[in-house]
Amino acid sequence: MRIRHSRWLPSLLLALLLAGGPAAAADNAAGPAVVVELFTSQGCASCPPADAYLGELAARKDVIALAYHVDYWNYIGWTDPFASHDMTVRQKAYARSLNQRYVYTPEMVIDGAHHEVGSDREAIEHLIAAARKAQSAGPAVALSLKDETLAVHVAAASRPDPAEAAVWLVKFDREHTTRVAHGENRGHTLKDYQVVRTLHRLGTWTGSPLDLTVDLRSSGPGDGGCAVLVQDKDGAGPIIAAAMIDYPSDGD
């Protein structure tokens, strides 16, 4: 099991929060991780290179990578089996927050603050490096998993900025392979990574310590792992803190 944090977390606090759970190791060696969210679709011919790139980012210790499959490409001849209107709603909220004139795929949003074409590796790497350099000390987020129960702790901040932030639970499947029969990618076998299946707002952080418990069995699909995002602007602005757990697979 791998645990990644997008803001600094004192090792003693992490150890206490993880005590009593299944064997897990905190992976803080790479420092704060940057959240990269890809908006994509199996019906989009220009998306596969971005999907492959997200798979590479998912293997990195300095990135929390998530793929949201939007539903507005479904009309063109292929219904993406992982598409959800919730993902389209999230992308449109980002478009308003980032002053975009329209939504598009493939789009990568970096730490909720900047966006670029998801297949433009040079531009994305630049944004990831800039986001890491610009990161300030947000509230520490700790996750611990015991059986099927996820415990979430968002630490206090003496001067919270923003005063309120949304706390999201994001559950994802690690990888899918799909043979596409129709649409722009007809005849191709596509690989998708970190496919978000559930996006659910857990609550609001106001600067005081926040503890939440989630029964993962009843919180929607997503068997590859989960992330918790603490996010400004009512849940569609800059991500001020995040953490992620990759569930063990048969090969782990």
What pLDDT tens digit does each residue of the chain (252 aa) get?
A: 666 766 544 333 443 343 444 334 334 334 579 999 999 999 999 999 999 999 999 999 999 999 999 999 999 999 999 999 999 999 999 999 999 999 999 999 999 999 999 999 999 999 999 999 988 767 899 999 999 999 999 999 876 777 889 999 999 999 999 999 999 999 999 999 999 999 999 999 999 999 999 999 999 999 999 999 999 988 899 999 999 999 987 655
Q: CA-to-CA distance for 74 and 180, rounded, in angstroms?
A: 12
162 C-beta neighbours (distance < 10 Å), count:
17
Residues 6+ apart with CB under 8 A from 148: 215, 216, 217
Burial of 115 (0-12, 13-18, 19+ CB in 10 A): buried
